[in-house]
Amino acid sequence: MYQEDSDEQFRSAKLGEMYRRAAEEFAAGVIADPRNALREQAGAQAGFEARLEALWGRGLDLADLVVWYGLESGGWVNELLRPAAVTRQGQKFEALIRLHGKAAMTAREVFVLLRSGFSTGALARWRTLHEVWVVFILLADGDEELSRRYLAHEVVESLRGQKEYEQTWQALGLEPPDWTTAERQKAWQDLAAEFDRTFLEPYGWAAPLFNNKAKNSGTWRITPSWTSGVATTGWHHMGPTQTRRGSYGTSKASKPSKSFGQDHQTWAS
């Protein structure tokens, strides 16, 4: 019985070694010239995109044209009105101009995916575009305080990403976080003190619109008042963060900029 187990382990080890060497030899050839390895697939994709362009190209071109002119118009508005917005610390202008740039970028992503035939991915980005539009309408109808909450909530997202990043950056060989753990905890406490604990939840910036309840607090109902009566100083000086949703733990969270409007010459990027 012992001899049979020993022989089985030996065969398994030899088989595993053979698989490993075969995989390494195959991978070495493919990695050496990946373009050649993908030539057939790339040709098939190019042919598909050409047929798709012949059928839907004009419609996609016209849609791209709308987005491009929208982007150009947003850049003109930003250049024209930003100096006054910076002077008065206009929270609504800052929030809306960022959302306009985000919408333009997302729309372009939709058309890139459509031109390559990835309709499901395009639909997913279109839903994101719809969400951007909904937030834009809410902020456009709201007051400066609502926009301030929206901008400040970006810091919440960054801090949440920072917490995950602290646990992974060393194992992944990445750069250390910009925030220390103590700084992150202090910032979290300051936000809770200035706003409330609900503000720290997902979409907590919009809680005043829904009886001061966060997204996961039950049924939302829009109230007549757009404001929450919180203070108007502090976190409104914070700018955008570098953390992307969905990449917590692998995307470095940078400290927010403390100079309003200074870093938005590339507002649509």
DSSP 133-194: HHHHHHHHHS-HHHHHHHHHHHHHHHHHHHHHHHHHTTTTT-PPPSS-HHHHHHHHHHHHHH
What pLDDT score was predicted for residue 5?
A: 57
Per the confidence metrics, is the pTM higher than 0.75? no
What pLDDT score was predicted for residue 68?
A: 93
Residues 29 and 109: their CA atoms lie apart, in Å, by: 33
The tens-digit pLDDT sequence of the chain (269 residues) is 555 556 677 677 777 788 888 777 777 777 778 888 788 888 999 999 999 999 999 999 999 999 999 999 999 999 999 999 888 888 999 999 999 999 999 999 999 999 999 999 999 999 999 999 999 999 999 999 999 999 999 999 888 888 889 989 888 889 988 888 899 899 999 999 999 889 999 899 999 888 766 555 444 343 333 323 222 323 333 333 333 333 333 445 555 543 343 333 333 33
- Paired tokens of 45: 């994709």
